Structures are given as structure tokens and as C-alpha cells.
Amino acid sequence: MKNQKGVRYSCVTGLVLSAAPGLAGAGEVAVAFDHTKPSVVTETAATPGDRINVTIANTCPEHFLYEVREFKPSPPAAGAAAPLAPGATCPEKTANETLVAAGYCKQGLQPLTFVHASDTRTYQILVTKKPGAPASVRGLQESEWNQAIEEMKKQTTCAVPAGLPAKADALADAAYVVNIQKSPWALGMSGGLSISDVVDPRFAVIDDPASTSTPPSTIVIRDRDAEDSQKLGFAGFVHVHNEKWRPWDIPIAGTFGLGMQDQDRISGFVGISAAAFDLAYLTLGWNWSSVDRLPAGQRLGAAPISDNVLNDLPSKTDDGWFLGISFKFMSPGESFYTGKLTKKSAPIEGGTPVEQ
């Protein structure tokens, strides 16, 4: 296996993670490792923009550095316990420093948090000894650590208790791998041409052919020859994809769209789309749109109820089929997420990295 920098590493699968994927890049994903098991590969699901929270249990921040991708730790300042005055018993502070200098530590949790980038499928988490750390590092549970401190405080030499190594866990450099499972769901946005059979009816006032008066009386008719055969418009579409929706290897998406008409009227679209090269969509579905209608009380074939009956016609909602041809747009691209992950980080000293 190789990480993104081309460095080979080997791992052994051995730990089940705890994960809580978020939605649409706004969620939290939790991954847990145990430092006493130094080579683990695990998998979790995440979408671009999710915050991945890694917790390393039973570890020793006093002796180890924690690195995710481009986190660059620097050596800590080395310190040594001050010698005791003759006949004095071991102070608690000196006992703690003596244990740390001897390679012991109180095991605890180490959190690391980073944002999942769109094209990344694997993260390597490295745990390495700090420069100057003891050759042998051993971790103690809090109760064992406190017991050792109490024993040392009774001494005048501040010596490490003889039986302590048998109680400690040997800790070494570790490499953990988190493989991200690509979500089968994806969201696409496009804009383009819509062709619908929902058209505005056209009305006219003509002389009544059956009238015998002079001048003849008039009636209101629907003038179908003056109507459009289809309505052309512009619409924006949202497409929901699933990797399993590929009949004949053609990506299929469920589609919802909105279009604007004259007089601030809105059209709604629902349909099925076929994607071409992840750039364009051909959509067929159903359209709901506002169209003109006659005023209340006016009937076709009847005399006009007023002289300006066809001025400022009210509207109603009609429905019919539509065909959409649209092109993908508004994709944030890889650069949207790269900046969140590749910022240089200050050295990690047993804590979460601080962005500069």
C-alpha cells in the first residue's frame, strides 16, 4: 500500500472503529485507535468537508509525536529532574519527572482532527518517538502511575519502584491507516434549456357567427392557432445520483428543478436524468407551471363580461411533460477542500495542531 506521498507502509487489520458520518460535508466522523496495538487498518465512511476526529487511547504524549499527513512535529526541549538534597524525601514533582525521564508515562487520550478532502481515500496517522525520548517507553494506567508516585515519595533516592516494568505497556512507533469508503450518493447541479408542453392559452374576442344583429354581437374564443406548441425556458436542476443507478452503464439521477417565467412566475420540474460524462444531463419528467386563464365568470363561446376582459389575465397552475438539456455548474472542485487540509501546522506537543 502507498500513501499519497508514495511511501510504502505495511499494516495489520485489527481494530473496529466508531464512526458517525455526517451529511453533505457538514458532519463529524469518529475513529479510535489503541497505542498498545501499533499497526491497525480501519475503514470509515465520510463525505468531503466532514471533520474526522481521531482518538488514540493508551498513549503517552510526553514521549510521542502525533502526525496526520502534513503535520510536522519539532523536537521538544529536554529537561532533567533536579537532584535531591541529602536526607530529603522525594517530592511529588521530582517523582513525576523521574518517571518521565526513565521512559514511563501516564497513558491517556490523544485527539487529532482534520477535514476530509474530496479525492482522498486513505489517511496515514503516524505516531513517532520524540527526539531525545528514552529508548524504551512504557505506559501506565492512572492508578498504577499514582501508586508509583506514592511509593517514590516515601524514598530519599526517588528510585523507580522495582516491580513497575511488569505493570507497564511497552509503547513503540505506530502507523495507523484510515481508508475512506466513498459514499454511493452524490449531488449534482446544472442549468439549461427546458422544453414543456405547458403553454399559455390564447383568447380572442370575435364576432358571433350566429348573431343576426347589426353590428353583430361578440364572443370569447380560444385561439389555438396563436398558441405555442411548446414552451421554452431556462431552469436550474438538482440531480441526486447513486452509484448503483447505472442501467446499460449510463448514470441515472433523480432530478428536481425550478424555472422562472415572465411576470415572476415559477415552474417546477420533477424527472429522471441521464448523465453524459458527468458534464451534461438529459432530463425527462413532469412540469408544473402557471398559465393564463379567463377571469372568473367568463366562459368560452359567451359574450365578454367587460370591454377589457382579456387585459391582465389571471393565472392558474397547469401540468404536463417536459424535456431538459442542462450542463453541470457550481461544483466547488478539489481546491475548495484542499486549503482546509494542506495548511502548514505548528508542532504538536501532546495536543491538537494549531493552524498558522
Instruction: Verify that 322 and 268 share a domain, yes or no.
Output: yes
Does residue 194 sit within a domain?
Answer: yes
Q: Among 15-24, 185-194, 284-293, where is mean pLDDT lowest?
A: 15-24
Query: pLDDT at position 75, please?
Result: 43
Query: pLDDT at position 14, please?
Result: 32
Instruction: Kindly tell me if the per-residue pLDDT of 315 is higher than 80.
Output: yes
Q: Among 119-123, 301-305, 331-335, 345-349, where is mean pLDDT lowest?
A: 345-349
- Tell how strand 280-292 and strand 315-328 pair up: antiparallel
Average pLDDT, integer, range 112-125: 83
Q: Whole-angstrom Cα distance, residue 269 to residue 299?
A: 30
C-beta separation of 315 from 329 below 8 A = no
From residue 275, give the alpha-carbon distance in Å to each of 195, 239, 245, 250, 285.
18, 9, 11, 7, 15
Q: What is the 3-state secondary structure (H, E, C) of 49-62?
A: CCEEEEEEEEECCC
Instruction: Verify that 145 and 55 share a domain, yes or no.
Output: yes
The fraction of the chain above a pLDDT of 90, given in percent, is: 25
Which residues are registered as beta bridge partners of 345? 355
Q: What single-letter DSSP state applies at residue 169? A: E
Instruction: Verify that 260 and 156 share a domain, yes or no.
Output: no
Residue 247 pLDDT grade (very low, low, confident, very high; cuts 50, 70, 90): confident
Give me 63's grid cell.
Answer: 514521549
Query: pLDDT at position 87, please?
Result: 58
Query: pLDDT at position 21, please?
Result: 35
Instruction: Verify that 167 and 203 share a domain, yes or no.
Output: no
Alpha helices of the chain — where are they, by DSSP H? 92-101, 142-153, 164-167, 334-341
Instruction: Match 439521477 to its residue by C-alpha cell.
Output: 253
* Number of domains present in the structure of the chain: 2
Residue type for position 122: T
Instruction: Verify that 152 and 190 share a domain, yes or no.
Output: no
Residue 263 pLDDT grade (very low, low, confident, very high; cuts 50, 70, 90): low
Residue 250 pLDDT grade (very low, low, confident, very high; cuts 50, 70, 90): confident
Average pLDDT, integer, range 168-189: 86
Does residue 6 sit within a domain?
Answer: no
Q: Among 2-16, 192-206, 281-295, where is mean pLDDT lowest?
A: 2-16
Query: pLDDT at position 81, please?
Result: 53
Instruction: Verify that 163 and 271 share a domain, yes or no.
Output: no
Instruction: Verify that 34 and 161 share a domain, yes or no.
Output: yes
Average pLDDT, integer, range 228-250: 87
Nearest CA-CA partner of 355 in 128, 61, 113, 28:
113
Q: What is the pLDDT of residues 274-288, one digit of tens each?
A: 988 778 999 999 999
The sign one gets for the Cα dihedral 92, 95, 100, 106 is negative
From residue 322, give the alpha-carbon distance in Å to each of 194, 278, 280.
7, 22, 17
Residue 50 pLDDT grade (very low, low, confident, very high; cuts 50, 70, 90): confident
Please give the mean pLDDT across all residues of the chain: 78
Nearest CA-CA partner of 131 in 79, 80, 77, 81:
77
C-beta separation of 115 from 52 below 8 A = yes
Nearest CA-CA partner of 47 in 114, 112, 118:
118
Full residue range of the structural domain in which residue 304 is found: 185-328
Instruction: Verify that 234 and 278 share a domain, yes or no.
Output: yes
More confident residue, 191 or 333: 191
Instruction: Verify that 189 and 177 share a domain, yes or no.
Output: no
Query: Largest Cα–Cα distance in the chain?
Result: 134
